């Protein structure tokens, strides 16, 4: 090496994309605490706090609730590889990137993915799920993405869970983006298995994936015919470390667990209902501001997520140039579209700490500037006053 690079100093950014979201200073401080051994009694006591706090946000009594070491996709793989054995039929909703990814993981695990499709931005209907279940011989699992981050669609879950059970299948949901920002009722909705991620509405850096396995899912784990093909993600092995036995499996990411504990404490201090209301209100203000700027949402009316807004790019406006201008001129990160929505939408995330009135107003002011730079006529302050009207209503 000719020269040692200087210390890395990240530029100042406001994270309003599809994740990671803004992180509270208390969470950053928690990560800077000295390390403990992963079998130290003090660390083990901390793990118990993390599990209890996770049960609280998931609204579940499931003892088998813990964070998998890895990002949200690791949680997805964990749930699927532990429950799906070669030849198993899995009915999976596919209406965006993450449903598509689930179907891929199901097939890699040797399962048969029975895809129930809906156009991107729309939700999967219960009738479609029922029809798919009727066509299966012995469906093992129904899998749906609760909050489809690629499109902003908010998938209803309780009816689908009932249908799954009526056909003898388990119900799995991806609540990576919804957990901590909108109601997720694992026990109330009879969800058997779910996974989430830390860097969306929990406002913690990426690196852990909370999962929860209910009693029916645990029965399936116990009665598997084949070994789980992933050693790292084998829940039965992991539960010997996260459960009573405390058997070494892999070295827990110590600092990430400190961070998650602190992030979950912040969620508990705010209270779930207050947190959901905050997310809804900031979404309503943003949507009103966007409408005043002439911008519409791409997701289906009545099924729009509060924490992720897919905004349609108007004709004649360069999607990437606007995003670039927001980043370089305003220090604001928003996301672009994926798959069929590439170049057609912006994705504005208001997740966890990112969901604040000041951030909504900053985003609207920056968008107004960027739209004007693209040659669009916008009345000065139109977006801001529409948003303010929502807040003062």
By the criterion CB under 6 A, which residues form the site for ligand PLP? 19, 71-73, 76, 98, 145, 147, 149, 174, 176-177, 197, 206
**For residue 20, is the peptide bond before it cis, meaning its omega torsion is within 30 degrees of 0?**
yes
CB of 226 to ligand PLP, least distance (A): 26
Residue 83 CA: distances (Å) to CA of 135, 197, 217, 355: 21, 19, 7, 35
Our CA dihedral for 197, 198, 203, 205, rounded to 10 degrees, sits at -130
CB of 157 to ligand PLP, least distance (A): 13
The smaller minimum CB distance to ligand PLP, of residues 16 and 176, is found at 176
159, two tokens? 């009816």
CB of 133 to ligand PLP, least distance (A): 23
Would you say 206 and 198 are in contact if contact means Cβ atoms under 8 Å apart? yes
Burial environment of residue 273 by CB neighbours within 10 A (0 to 12, 13 to 18, 19 or more): exposed
The smaller minimum CB distance to ligand PLP, of residues 164 and 175, is found at 175
The smaller minimum CB distance to ligand PLP, of residues 19 and 111, is found at 19
For ligand PLP, the nearest residue by Cβ is 72
CB of 138 to ligand PLP, least distance (A): 27
The smaller minimum CB distance to ligand PLP, of residues 186 and 292, is found at 186
Closest CA to 176 of 144, 193, 200: 200
The smaller minimum CB distance to ligand PLP, of residues 151 and 388, is found at 151
The smaller minimum CB distance to ligand PLP, of residues 71 and 78, is found at 71
DSSP letter (8 states) at residue 96: S
CB of 57 to ligand PLP, least distance (A): 16
State the Cα–Cα distance between residues 91 and 357, nearest whole angstrom: 39
DSSP letter (8 states) at residue 108: H
Closest CA to 142 of 171, 178, 119: 171
Would you say 222 and 243 are in contact if contact means Cβ atoms under 8 Å apart? no
CB of 36 to ligand PLP, least distance (A): 25
CB of 72 to ligand PLP, least distance (A): 2
DSSP letter (8 states) at residue 297: B
The smaller minimum CB distance to ligand PLP, of residues 60 and 199, is found at 199
CB of 279 to ligand PLP, least distance (A): 15
**Secondary structure (3-state) at 71:** coil
State the Cα–Cα distance between residues 248 and 116, nearest whole angstrom: 40
The smaller minimum CB distance to ligand PLP, of residues 19 and 383, is found at 19
194, two tokens? 């779910």
């Amino acid at each position: 090496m000719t020269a040692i690079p200087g210390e890395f100093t990240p530029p100042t950014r406001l994270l309003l994309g599809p994740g990671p979201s803004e992180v509270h200073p208390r969470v950053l401080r928690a990560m800077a605490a000295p390390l403990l051994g992963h079998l130290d009694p003090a660390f083990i006591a901390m793990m118990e706090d993390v599990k209890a706090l996770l049960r609280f946000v998931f609204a579940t009594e499931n003892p088998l609730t813990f964070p998998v070491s890895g990002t949200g996709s690791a949680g997805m793989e964990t749930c699927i590889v532990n429950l799906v054995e070669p030849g198993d039929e899995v009915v999976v909703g596919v209406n965006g990137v993450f449903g598509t990814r689930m179907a891929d993981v199901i097939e890699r695990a040797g399962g048969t993915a029975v895809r129930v499709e809906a156009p991107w931005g729309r939700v999967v209907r219960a009738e479609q799920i029922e029809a798919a279940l009727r066509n299966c011989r012995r469906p093992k699992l129904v899998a749906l993405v609760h909050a489809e981050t690629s499109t902003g669609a908010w998938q209803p879950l309780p009816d689908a869970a009932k249908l799954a059970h009526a056909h003898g299948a388990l119900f799995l949901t991806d609540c990576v983006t919804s957990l901590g920002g909108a109601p997720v009722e694992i026990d109330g909705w009879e969800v058997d298995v779910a996974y989430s991620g830390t860097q969306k509405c929990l406002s913690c850096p990426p690196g852990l994936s909370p999962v929860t396995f209910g009693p029916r899912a645990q029965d399936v784990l116990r009665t598997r015919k084949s070994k789980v093909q992933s050693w790292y993600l084998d829940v039965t092995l992991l539960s010997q470390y996260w459960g009573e036995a405390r058997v070494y499996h892999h070295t827990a990411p110590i600092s990430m667990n400190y961070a998650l504990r602190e992030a979950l404490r912040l969620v508990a201090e705010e209270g779930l209902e207050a947190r959901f209301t905050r997310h809804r209100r900031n979404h309503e203000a943003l949507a009103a501001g966007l409408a005043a700027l002439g911008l519409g949402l791409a997701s289906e009316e009545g099924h729009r997520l509060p924490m992720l807004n897919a905004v349609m790019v108007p004709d004649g406006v360069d999607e990437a140039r606007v995003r670039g201008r927001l980043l370089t001129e305003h220090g604001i990160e928003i996301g672009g579209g994926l798959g069929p929505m590439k170049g057609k939408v912006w994705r504005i995330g208001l997740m966890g700490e990112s969901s604040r009135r000041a951030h909504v107003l900053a985003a609207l002011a920056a968008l107004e500037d960027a739209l004007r730079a693209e040659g669009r006529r916008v009345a000065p302050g139109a977006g801001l006053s529409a948003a303010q009207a929502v807040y003062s209503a």
